[in-house]
């Protein structure tokens, strides 16, 4: 079976380049009786087949999120907010390396989750200090958006077509290019292009980014499903989990920022 990745950072995975092999099950007792075949036939676990499954990705995503929450909680509790800036820079570099080198080593991927936890713990503490209760609201919002997008994808109301994929990827690249331009402009002008100084413009940009992150979640869900259907090697479950966590972190940050604008004082 052959599948096509919708994630530009994952297009070199063999299963999505048409180079995957069909992975067979171990032979059971030879029988033509369907009842006996049901009892003695092979199981479909990833350990037996060597294939990635949706369940694998779910478990590995949970492990990554648990690691993220643990390091984030420690950063918050120990008042280590000053580590947020170095953590986000390290996380950015590590995330790019994982994406482009297609790293599936769980130690490396969990290291990314740990670093992102430090960043999120620090930045969340700063936002919570300024806006009491905002972190809980952002977490609920993130989980709610993720649940809605998963339901829409599973129900078929949102279908991942080539046109849909090109639109989402193009808009995402454009948005991050805008962020880079704003960052560079910030070195010469206070506030950069003024995109995140509050007001209607900042609210509109955050709302757009939240919608964009939500659509990227659909691409992540589709990648996971197609990867499992294509029989990708089990180790790629870590890479799929990594992609999903990256999008969830992005979504959380955008919701956090939008809530801060809506609550004023910026």
- Confidence band, pLDDT 50/70/90 cuts, at residue 200: confident
Average pLDDT of every residue of the chain = 83
DSSP string, 189-222: STTTTSTTSSHHHHHHHHHHHHHHHHHHHHHHHH
Which has more pLDDT, 91 or 30?
91
At 214-224, the pLDDT tens digits run 999 999 999 99
pLDDT at 36 over 90: no
Which has more pLDDT, 45 or 119?
119
What are the residues whose beta carbons fall under 8 Å from the beta carbon of 228, sequence distance 6 or more? Answer: 51, 52, 53, 54, 57
Instruction: Write down the domain spans for the chain.
Output: 50-262
16/168 Cα distance (integer angstroms): 19
Mean pLDDT of all residues in 60-71: 96
Which has more pLDDT, 248 or 49?
248
3-state secondary structure of 51: strand
Question: Taking Cα atoms as reference points, which of 55, 80, 69 lies closest to residue 249?
Answer: 69
At 123-180, the pLDDT tens digits run 999 999 999 999 999 999 999 999 999 999 999 899 999 999 999 999 999 999 988 8
């Amino acid at each position: 079976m052959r599948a096509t990745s919708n994630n530009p950072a994952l297009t070199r995975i063999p299963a999505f380049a048409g180079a995957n092999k069909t992975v067979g099950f171990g032979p059971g007792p030879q029988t033509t009786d369907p009842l006996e075949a049901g009892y003695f036939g092979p199981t479909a676990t990833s350990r037996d087949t060597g294939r990635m499954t949706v369940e694998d990705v779910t478990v590995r995503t949970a492990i990554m999120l648990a690691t993220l929450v643990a390091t984030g909680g420690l950063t918050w509790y120990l008042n280590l907010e000053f580590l947020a800036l170095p953590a986000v820079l390290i996380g950015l570099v590590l995330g790019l390396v994982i994406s482009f080198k297609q790293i599936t080593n769980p130690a490396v991927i969990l290291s990314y989750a740990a670093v992102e936890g430090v960043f999120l713990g620090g930045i969340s503490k700063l936002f919570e200090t300024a806006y009491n209760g905002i972190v809980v609201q952002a977490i609920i919002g993130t989980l709610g958006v993720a649940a809605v997008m998963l339901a829409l994808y599973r129900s078929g109301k949102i279908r991942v077509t080539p046109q849909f994929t090109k639109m989402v990827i193009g808009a995402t690249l454009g948005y991050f290019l805008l962020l880079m331009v704003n960052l560079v402009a910030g070195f010469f002008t206070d506030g950069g292009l003024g995109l995140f100084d509050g007001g209607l413009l900042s609210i509109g940009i955050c709302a757009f980014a939240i919608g964009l992150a939500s659509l990227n979640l659909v691409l992540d869900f589709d990648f996971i499903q197609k990867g499992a259907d294509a029989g990708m090697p089990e180790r790629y479950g870590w890479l799929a989990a990594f992609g999903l966590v990256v999008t969830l972190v992005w979504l959380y940050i955008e919701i956090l920022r939008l809530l801060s604008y809506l609550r004023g004082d910026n």
